[in-house]
Structure 1
Amino acid sequence: FGCRKAPVFEAAFTLPTKRAIDKELVGGAAVFGIGWGIAGFCPGGAIPALGLGYSATPIFVAAVIAGIVVARFARTRLAHPATA
């Protein structure tokens, strides 16, 4: 159980190189915290909670997936605005 030299499915570990605290980081952390506070679920913990049979869990997981899709769409649109 020692430290691994590389991950199981990759050639090497990759760590983020960006060190700046920017508006995307702060905004993302705020949205994450607000969502966790409102829903009472951490997104990672919601996946195994699907097996518990609570009716709110699939709704939460669907909302997380929808949020990811919307955020990726918005980020793509903002990064590459359409030219007319």
Structure 2
Amino acid sequence: MLLIPCPHCGPREEREFRCGGESHVARPASAEAPDDRAFAEYLYVRSNAKGVQAERWHHLYGCRRWFNLLRDTVTHEITAVYPMGAPRPESAA
């Protein structure tokens, strides 16, 4: 079981959380009328990288807050936890 360090509640078991997918996905530049390809890529295309990836997590059965973390997709090691809206930490990138 993965132990996730919630920035508001402390370390909790993985079953209390839900992964919201990759963090820092940029919306298409033209918000009024993006072309179909750009909008489809925004909605569906993710890097699914092997190694460290930034992810959004929701503490569903705890404080109910969202936060970002850096997790190695191979070892599941969590190297950084940071609030929504903050830039990805460079020290762990």
TM-score by length of 2: 0.25
* Bigger strand share: 2
* Bigger helix share: 1
TM-score by length of 1: 0.26
Indicate the structure whose relative CO is greater, using CA pairs within 8 Å and at least 6 residues apart: 2
Structure 1 or 2, whichever has the larger Rg, is: 1
